Amino acid sequence: MKITVDINSGFCWGVIRTIDIAEQELQESGTLYSLGEIIHNPVEIQRLKREGLQPISYADLELFRGRKILIRAHGEPPETYEKARALGITLIDATCPVVTKVQERIRKFYDNGFQVVIFGKKDHAEVIGLVGQTKGEAVVIKSLDEISKVDYSRKTVLFSQTTMDKPTFYAIRDNLARQIKEFEVATFENEAIEFHAKDTICGQVSGREKKLREFAAQNDVIIFVAGRTSSNGKVLFEIAREVNERTFFIEDIDELQRKWFEGKESIGITGSTSTPQWLMEKVKIAIEALVPNDIIA
C-alpha cells in the first residue's frame, strides 16, 4: 500500500499570512484574542489555543477595552472597526487581501447605486463582512432557488463569497444576465492580486480543482481532511468525491476506519485551504498504524 499526502493541498497564502501574524504576536505577548475562530479547522484552532490564542465574540468586545484583538482572514464589517475605535481596542488586521479587495469593490458599486448580490452563505463570517459594506442592504443567495430575492428592475452587480463553487456562480450569473438590463459581474482590477478571474471566487480554491481531480483519480481511496464548517472544504470534498466515490471526510484521526483501506493499493490524503500540512502528515502516520506494516510501500 502506498500512502501519499497531496502536495497541492494545505493552507492557502491568505491563511498562512493570518496564522503568521497571529503567531508573531503570540511570540511577543504570549496571549492574543481573535474575533471569532481564526480559521475553520478545529484541530488547528486547538493548537493555537495552546499557544495562547483565545477566540472571543463580537458581543464580548465591551470586556476587552484597551486590548489587542486580531481580525481573522474572513474580515469584518465597518461597524466592528468603529466599535473597536470607540473602545480603545487595537485591531491587528489579518483579513485576507483577497477578501479586502472584494470588500473595496462592493463599497464602490454600492456607492454608485448598484444593487449588490452576493453568492454565498448569509451566516458565514466572510459574507457578514461583505454585507456590512452595503449597510446591510446586499442580497445574499446561495443557490438558483433563491434568485427571486433579486430586484430585476435595478442595476445590479454580482459578487461571490471567495470560497463558493464556480458552476453555481455561473448559473446564477447567466440567469441574472437574461433578466436584468444593467447587469455586471465583479472582476479584479488590481494585478498585485495573485490570481485573475471573471468572478470573486478565490483562485486558490477554484484553481485546485484540476489537480484535485487528478489526485483523486490516481488513488484507490481519498481521505479528505477539513473542518466541517469550512466552505471551501465542502466544495473541494465534493469535487474529489465526484471523481472517486471512495472519498471519506474526516476532521481528525479518530474518525479513520480500517475497513476503508482493506484490499486497497493506494491511499491519497488531501484537504481544504484551511487544513494544516502537519495534520495531513498526522493522518498518514495514523493510517500506517491501522494497516499491517508489511503491506505499506
Q: What residues are annotated to the active site? A: 126
Q: Which residues pair with 266 in a beta bridge?
A: 2
Q: What is the DSSP string of 219-261?
A: -SEEEEE--TT-HHHHHHHHHHHHH-S-EEEESSGGG--GGGG
Cα dihedral 196, 198, 199, 205 in deg (nearest 10): -50
Taking CA atoms, 132 is separated from 88, 112, 141, 158, in Å, by 21, 16, 16, 16
Q: Which three cell numbers stand for residue 284?
A: 498518514
- Give Cβ neighbours of residue 66 (< 8 Å, ≥ 6 apart): 87, 88, 89
Q: Is 48 helix (H, G, I), strand (E, B) or coil?
A: helix
Q: Which residues pair with 69 in a beta bridge?
A: 33, 91
